[in-house]
Amino acid sequence: MTQALASFLTTALLLAGALSVPAAQAADYPSKPIRIVVPYSAGGSTDALARMVGERMGQRLGQVAVVENKPGASEQIAIANVTKAAPDGYTLLLSTLSGLAVNPGLYGPRLPYDPLKDLAPILLAATVPSVVVVHPSLPVKTMAELGTHLKHNKGTISYASAGNGTPSHLGMEYYKKMNGFDPVHVPYKGGAPALQELMGGQVQVMMALVPEAMPMVKSGRLRALAMTSPKRLPAHPDVPTVAEAGGRDFDMTFWYAFMAPAGTPADIVAKLNRTLDAILQDKDVRAKLAEMSLDVAGGPPSRVTELIKADSAKWKKVIDEAGIRID
């Protein structure tokens, strides 16, 4: 064998070995616990979804999935933490519409991450609409009556939100823009205190996430007018949609997506996608999420990318037109 041929064969063998490493890693994955970072405190819908899925990941993959709560800064703390983690499939993120599609329009170049460049999509987990709720003392029972009331009481009706730039804020600004209404915005530090103030009568209207607001509707402390989803919810069939009430194509759907650091091997992402999708399609899991008014999504990772792009453009337009700024 000539020296040149020997050198060629050695190089070829080394290259073949290098190319086989990712496949071997995927076959062995996972070999240690997986961390699921959640950008909210324990007890909320994002945390509950992560824990439900994490428990079953352990059963399917043979390794425990540990949920780690990193709340604060509109998901920025959690997301920045994940983008800096090793892209090996052992650090995952359960983020939402807010962190992945709203923040870029709110913060612009100040945002410490780019959701399309710094993260790898795994799976669109679930979606949930908001519900327009009012204090029982407000003399309205439909969205049409609310519209008439707002027109006749300009500047005197206030609406609550979970904070500047949150979906509850953007959804109402979107609705205002479509109809020419002018309720006064009163931001709070979270959905829970906003709903408490609404029940107390300090504000009159709110567009709140269904899992947070409907228990208060059932107890009679709030009145539900309409869902912000394109279709009525099976769990609340008597509540119409904003679109049905003349809101045309109004859609304020909140969503949750599993992500990983950019550069995570494609075969590991594919394995996670299959595993998470199977978990969410489980009959028991679907039933439990339905009780929370969460609708299971699923599908390929590309579905997340498409949604991030579409909603980023949609909500940036609302942010710009409403002049919303986060200092």
**Tens-place pLDDT, residues 126-185:** 999 999 999 999 999 999 999 999 999 988 999 999 999 999 999 999 998 888 888 999
CB atoms within 10 A of CB 88: 16
pLDDT(7) > 80: no
Tell me, what amino acid is at 153? N
Rounded Cα distance between 203 and 122, Å, is: 39
- Is the Cβ–Cβ distance between 212 and 199 less than 8 Å? no
Q: What's the chain's average pLDDT?
A: 91
Mean pLDDT of 38-63: 94
In the predicted model, is pLDDT for residue 272 greater than 80? yes
Q: Give the pLDDT confidence of 81-139 residue by residue, as tens digits.
A: 999 999 999 999 999 999 999 999 999 999 999 999 999 999 999 999 999 999 999 99
pLDDT-derived band at 309 (thresholds 50, 70, 90) equals very high
Instruction: Provide the CATH number for the domain formed by 13-127+255-322 in this structure.
Output: 3.40.190.150
Q: DSSP characters for 75-133?
A: GHHHHHHHHTS-SSSSEEEEEEHIIIIIHHHHHGGGSS--TTTSEEEEEEEEEEEEEEE
The domain segmentation of the chain, as residue ranges, is: 13-127+255-322, 129-247
Q: What is the pLDDT of residue 247?
A: 67
Same fold for the domain at 13-127+255-322 and the one at 129-247?
Answer: yes
DSSP character for 260? E
pLDDT of residue 81: 97
pLDDT at position 4 over 70? no
Query: How far is Cα 269 from Cα 100, in angstroms, rounded to an integer?
Result: 18
pLDDT digits (tens, 9 = 90+) for 228-267: 999 999 889 999 999 888 767 889 999 999 999 999 999 9
What b/e readout covers 233-265, taking b as 16+ CB neighbours within 10 angstroms? beebeebbbbbbbebeebbbbbbbbbbbbbebb
Decide if domain 129-247 falls under CATH 3.40.190.10. yes
CA dist 293 and 44 (Å) reads 13
